[in-house]
Structure formats: structure tokens, C-alpha cells
């Protein structure tokens, strides 16, 4: 049985797809994951074989350049030894700086390299390694900054979702009078949601029967938001990271969200219209382009954080709840996207592509 290594790390946006690749391929190959320490917190060691090999974080401060170079070469040699010792046949990288040492080592050892790019803008490490890859698994054919001469390497797939999500029942006929709002701050820039969105909810709740399911960035902010919501008698649930969030998404009416590829994929599958507020400091502004894809298909409302204030978000929420025509148009348009997503179809495409090499 051929051996596949999936390199990942950093945020959940990189690690969750790695876990999904593992689940797709584990029956046909000997699969394991390698991650940095940050990414390992998203991996259940009872379900997945994985190894922690840390990679240095890239710093813009020139003072740390020597430290980064030394650390990078240490990570590279660890990757080289790991790949060779474990006789890896294929490497799948889900992107990010933490995968670079393994991608370079795979090239030197002539190991088949496959990349995964879920965003509308190709990541910098993926762009660097595209020339050495066999194929690049993507959700889109037209990706911003993708090297034109390597576009033949793109293999388009439906959005990757955890297997248990397909097994969850989607609720399309909810009759409750409570308007349920999911707020997803993501792993970066969630403090904006902790503060500004909290103000919006405070005002919106005064005349509307709502329930809030909100991701918060830290325990300190969680306590402050709890105090505010308790004082206003808002029905709410707060969480930092929830591996089974999909179980709670089935009854959600609307989401206010950052625009990482994984979050938008889950929302699309459950046909949840959303207000997209991209993280403005995401590399190459990729969250904006992720959201714009859905906005152009009339599946969401797109707001830019630097150009928005609490009253504008509040006015939008009020218009959505008072006039459902536009809401249901977006819900119908999202369903057109999600209806094509099927575990077995993705599974066969991944296996067939890898089996070519």
C-alpha cells in the first residue's frame, strides 16, 4: 500500500482540510499527517496518525531573519529525514509556510507533490511550489495570481466537508419564530466581532426575537459578552472553537462571518445566507475574493470592515428580517451551489487523480 503524507499546520483553515483529505484517502493508502504545534490542537490523536514537526513562523522583522533561516533549515532537514525514513510516495500540502520544508524536501527526493488551494487567491507558498507539483486541487478554475503556464495542473473539486457533515440532517423547513444568528469570527481578527458585532446585537435584540450562537476570540472577551447578553436577557451560546459546530448550524437562519474557505463551505452546504465581513489583513486580501465569489452569485451580503460601522450592519439586519424576499433569493442561490456537493464524487476524483502517478 502506497504511503501518503499530508503536511499542514497553523490555523484550522489549513488543518481541517488535511483531516478531510485523510478521511477520503485512508481506505486506499497508508496515510498520516504532519503538523506544527499550532495546528496539532485541531487533530484528534485517537482518530488520526500524525506527527508534530514545528516550522518557524515568517517574521517581517529583519532582526529575526537569522533565527528564521536557521530554524527553517532545521525543519527542512527534519522533513527530509522523515520523508525518506517513512518511504513516502505522495505528499499533499494544504498550504501555508509550515508546509514549505516538506514541499521542498519532497522535490529533492522526487516524491509526488499535490497542493490544495481552497481560496480565490492562490497562497504564496502554493504559488512558489506550483511548478514542482503534479496537480493542484482547487474549488475554482480561475484563481487570482495563479501562474498561467501551470493552469493545466488545476483539478477542480467540490468544497471539502467533513464526512459527518454529510450525515447530518439539513433542516430546510424550520417553523420556529426565533431568528437564529451564527457569528463566526475565525481564528484571526475575531476581536472586531467581539466588540462591534456585540453592539449590533444589543440594538437588534430590543425588538426582535433572536438567538445568538457566537464564536469569541478569548476567555476574557467571552466573560464580557456574557455579562452584556445576560443583562439584556438575550438567548445566546458562546464558544471559542467547536469541532461539532455543524450540529448547531442546521437551524441557523443567518450568519455573520469572516470569509475563510472552510467557514464559507460549511455555510454553503447548510444553505445559510450570510453577511460576509472579510478579515482586511488576510494575505493578498484572499478573504475578500472568497466572499466576492458568493456575492457575485447573489448568495450573501458583502461588507468591508474598513468601510462599515455598527449602524450600517444594524440597518442591514433589520432589512433582512423585515423583507424576506432578498433573503430567500440568496438561500435559493446557495442551494444551487451546495446541491452538487457529494462525498463519493469527491472521493473518486481525489483517488483517481493520485493514482495517475
- The model's pLDDT over 132-182, given as tens digits with 9 standing for 90+, comes to 999 999 999 999 999 999 999 999 999 999 999 988 755 555 556 889 999
Domain 167-338 in this protein, CATH class: alpha beta
Give the C-alpha separation, 105 to 69, whole Å.
16
Task: Kindly list the strands in the beta sheet with 112-117, ordered across the sheet, starting from the edge strand earlier in the chain.
Answer: 50-52, 30-35, 3-7, 90-93, 112-117, 135-138, 154-156
> pTM here?
0.91
DSSP conformation letters of 229-274: HHHTT-EEEEES--TTHHHHHTT--EEEE---HHHHHHHHHTT--E
The CA-atom distances, in angstroms, between 249 and each of 22, 23, 135, 160 are 24, 22, 33, 17
Q: Do residues 13 and 187 touch, judged by C-beta distance below 8 A?
A: yes
What confidence category does residue 64 fall into, taking pLDDT thresholds of 50, 70 and 90?
low
Is 167-338 the same fold as 3-158+342-354?
yes
Taking only the tens place, the pLDDT of each residue in 214-253 is 988 778 888 888 988 898 889 999 888 777 788 888 889 9
Considering only residues 96 and 312, tell me which one the structure prediction assigns the higher pLDDT: 312
Residue 187, pLDDT score:
57
> Domain limits of the chain?
3-158+342-354, 167-338
- Domain covering 3-158+342-354: architecture: 3-Layer(aba) Sandwich (3.40)
- Give the pLDDT confidence score for residue 175 in this predicted structure: 57
pLDDT at residue 66 greater than cutoff 80? no
Averaged over 273-286, what is the pLDDT? 90
* Ranges 59-73, 108-122, 192-206, 233-247: which has the least confidence: 59-73
pLDDT greater at residue 350 or residue 312: 350
More confident residue, 190 or 192: 192
Amino acid at each position: 500500500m502506497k504511503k501518503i503524507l499530508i503536511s499542514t499546520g497553523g490555523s484550522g483553515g489549513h488543518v481541517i482540510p488535511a483531516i478531510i483529505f485523510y478521511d477520503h484517502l485512508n481506505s486506499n493508502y497508508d496515510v498520516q499527517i504532519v503538523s506544527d504545534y499550532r495546528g496539532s490542537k485541531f487533530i484528534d490523536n485517537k482518530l488520526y496518525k500524525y506527527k508534530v514537526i514545528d516550522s518557524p513562523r515568517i517574521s517581517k522583522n529583519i532582526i529575526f531573519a537569522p533565527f528564521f533561516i536557521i530554524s527553517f533549515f532545521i525543519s527542512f532537514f527534519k522533513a527530509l529525514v522523515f520523508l525518506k525514513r517513512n518511504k513516502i510516495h505522495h505528499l499533499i500540502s494544504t498550504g501555508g509556510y509550515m508546509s514549505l520544508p516538506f514541499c521542498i524536501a519532497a522535490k529533492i527526493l522526487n516524491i509526488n507533490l499535490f497542493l490544495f488551494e481552497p481560496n480565490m487567491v492562490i497562497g504564496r507558498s502554493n504559488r512558489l511550489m506550483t511548478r514542482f507539483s503534479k496537480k493542484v486541487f482547487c474549488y475554482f478554475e480561475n484563481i487570482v495570481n495563479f501562474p498561467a503556464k501551470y493552469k493545466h495542473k488545476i483539478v477542480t473539486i467540490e468544497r471539502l466537508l467533513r464526512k459527518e457533515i454529510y450525515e447530518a440532517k439539513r433542516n430546510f423547513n424550520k417553523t420556529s419564530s426565533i431568528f437564529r444568528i451564527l457569528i463566526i469570527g475565525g481564528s484571526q481578527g475575531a476581536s472586531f466581532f467581539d466588540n462591534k458585532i456585540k453592539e449590533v446585537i444589543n440594538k437588534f435584540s430590543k425588538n426582535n426575537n433572536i438567538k445568538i450562537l457566537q464564536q469569541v476570540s478569548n476567555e476574557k472577551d467571552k466573560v464580557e459578552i456574557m455579562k452584556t447578553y445576560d443583562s439584556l436577557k438575550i438567548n445566546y451560546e458562546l464558544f471559542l472553537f467547536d469541532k461539532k459546530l455543524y450540529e448547531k448550524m442546521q437551524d441557523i437562519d443567518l450568519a455573520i462571518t469572516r470569509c475563510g474557505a472552510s467557514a464559507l463551505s460549511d455555510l454553503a452546504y447548510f444553505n445559510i445566507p450570510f453577511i460576509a465581513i472579510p478579515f482586511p489583513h488576510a494575505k493578498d486580501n484572499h478573504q475578500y475574493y472568497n466572499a466576492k465569489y458568493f456575492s457575485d452569485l447573489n448568495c450573501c451580503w458583502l461588507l468591508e470592515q474598513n468601510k462599515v460601522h455598527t449602524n450600517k450592519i444594524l440597518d442591514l439586519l433589520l432589512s433582512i428580517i423585515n423583507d424576506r424576499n432578498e433573503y430567500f433569493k440568496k438561500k435559493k442561490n446557495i442551494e444551487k451551489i451546495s446541491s452538487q456537493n457529494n462525498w463519493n464524487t469527491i472521493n473518486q476524483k481525489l483517488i483517481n487523480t493520485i493514482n495517475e502517478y
